[in-house]
Structure 1
């Protein structure tokens, strides 16, 4: 069969065709299945290999704001249900935010006042130490009990396996070439589509370049590493730091955050310049996923600067109170970034382009998808 004949080969039809099998695409497939729709998923790789498997596995619900908070809170209950159904490794472990300066602790006090004791529990230094190993200078912190952790290297694959059992047809190693109101043309043939969701993350410009330009979509590259746990103990929660206070919109309601920004900018300008979000989670095997840095461009430089990894390693070691860390793996995560956290667009009838443009796809996608489908099916 020639390539032209293969491209014209019919691949059936579906009420919903999803382009992209990352967490955003899978979230739309999950919600469609729950509505009783037939679903086909087109994914260019043999399995999900992008941002959905390269992240911390952190459901960082509490630190969101606005629409992201609304989607996140809805996503939380959906993660709990899906974990049971799909056999996900999930922990309702919460998040510890470590304060190593008075202004950082003041931000956490303000955050608790804004959100209440159900969402934010203040900790003294001993309370932090009970939950994680700490270095010198920890004044206290906060525990965010609503947050969860999943294994990102297992979650997307387990969800896809569960969806397949529900009758979803996956077209792996298949590239979507053309998208029309009722048809998706792929490298293996044509699929008739009642509705279509294009969820290709930062690659939205590959399909709809003008839309991506208008939305200001860029790529954000993250330096992340897997290291051996230097203390050999279980660390149940995700762990954030003072640098994290500058990265999550939920903390924007706290007046003292500006002081944290000014102090860290004066004391550690090189870390602010690289967009450090000093945090980590523990993997099922005990190793730690640490990171991360943020570099933005429409087309990313293909070369990784070792200095960025060294900053992450040094600051994580200091947070944990050790001299050095043993690196097991290094990688670059890439996600879509824009001025707003979500891109939801209708380039043609019956088609929605959906991208989480703030690095919070794992946190929000399961709550975002039902609203997108409500609108698409209306």
Structure 2
């Protein structure tokens, strides 16, 4: 066996069209994060994506890296992600706002939950009075009873950011093969529609499409697709520009950092009891303003094995009516410029990190916090491959 092994390796190498150190399947933010971490270590990197460009979760979002409101492993990955976003701002020329995000409290129970959260996150959260939060977010006068400034949050334009990172990585020698599908994956080897590739390490970062390549693991982690209704709106009557991403009481029900606040149960009970139509849509009422002044509005959520292409106009109308009330606008004054269907992987766990085959690493953010944690998670995975503890 030992005498024939070199001959076998030589034959296998001859069958390959290309060899690299790291092959990454998926050019979304998690895949790009792995490419960044690998090229930083001087490795030869190839990124493969079946699309002609990125059109998935990494561009269909608010661009809000909600760093401050995470907990546990997500907080660790978010803190590292923040560092990497700031670095990419300088190196890749991204548009980025690092002035933090805001939570508008419309009820005393929301304000109480914010106070409980702020007490645990001293140095990262500043409580605001009603006048200050109104001046920072442009909400209707008299609507807010107070709020909070999430000091570590940042914002990018996802459509611009993903393209800029791709161009930056290409300038550093990362090779991209778009319009390329992966047919099979084995240890050290991928078979794609462009040929056979050998790689010391393979990272599969395909988000919700994990069930296409590793269906057993997708089933074990209970990975499904979460579909969203989102839109971009012009609001000429907005009182002031948004000072940063804006969250609401509905947002507080979604993020793990708020989960241990004693008052969050009262917030949930009141919102679900008083606005069952929004609860049925699983709304996260939040807003980000882009450099051109338009505002991303959203979003609703539903989960299934497949995302229906048919979006309900009633969901968009509910979002618009809620937005008009929030900012003290006439519904007719809100001009919808774009509507779209967001989608991301969802599962009971926040992250899927597995090595189903030797040297093959399956990595996915299985909640809607890919822009918040994806770069940091990728950096951790590459670090553990090439800098193992105790090595």
TM-score band w.r.t. shorter chain: over 0.9
Output the TM-score relative to the length of structure 2. Answer: 0.93
Is 1:254 the equivalent of 2:275? no
Q: Structure 1 unaligned segments of length 5 or more: list them.
A: 1-7
Per-residue CA shift, 1:241-279, capped at 9, x if unaligned?
010010101001210000000001110112112110000
Q: Distance in 2 between matches of 1:160 and 1:18?
A: 13
* Residue in structure 1 matched with residue 244 of structure 2 by the alignment: 237
* Residue in structure 2 matched with residue 124 of structure 1 by the alignment: 129
Q: Distance in 2 between matches of 1:11 and 1:19?
A: 17
Q: Distance in 1 between matches of 2:186 and 2:236?
A: 53
Is 1:211 the equivalent of 2:247? no
Structure 1 residue 330: Cα displacement: 0.1
Structure with higher Rg: it is 2
* Residue in structure 2 matched with residue 355 of structure 1 by the alignment: 364
Per-residue CA shift, 1:212-247, capped at 9, x if unaligned?
001100000010000002335422300000100101
Over 3 Å counting, the alpha-carbon distance change for 1:294 and 1:252 in structure 2 is same
* Residue in structure 2 matched with residue 103 of structure 1 by the alignment: 109
Is 1:168 the equivalent of 2:198? no
1:1-378 equivalent positions in 2, closer than 5 A: 10-116=16-122, 118-135=123-140, 136-232=142-238, 233-324=240-331, 325-377=334-386, 378=388
Structure 1 residue 9: Cα displacement: 8.2
Per-residue CA shift, 1:252-309, capped at 9, x if unaligned?
1210000000001110112112110000100111100010011000122221111111
Q: Distance in 2 between matches of 1:11 and 1:167?
A: 18
Q: C-alpha root-mean-square deviation of aligned residues, in Å?
A: 1.3
Per-residue CA shift, 1:189-225, capped at 9, x if unaligned?
1111110000000000010111100110000001000
Output the TM-score relative to the length of structure 1. Answer: 0.96
Moved over 4 A (4+): none
* Residue in structure 2 matched with residue 3 of structure 1 by the alignment: none
User: Conserved in 1, the CA contact under 8 Å of 2:138 and 2:241?
Assistant: no
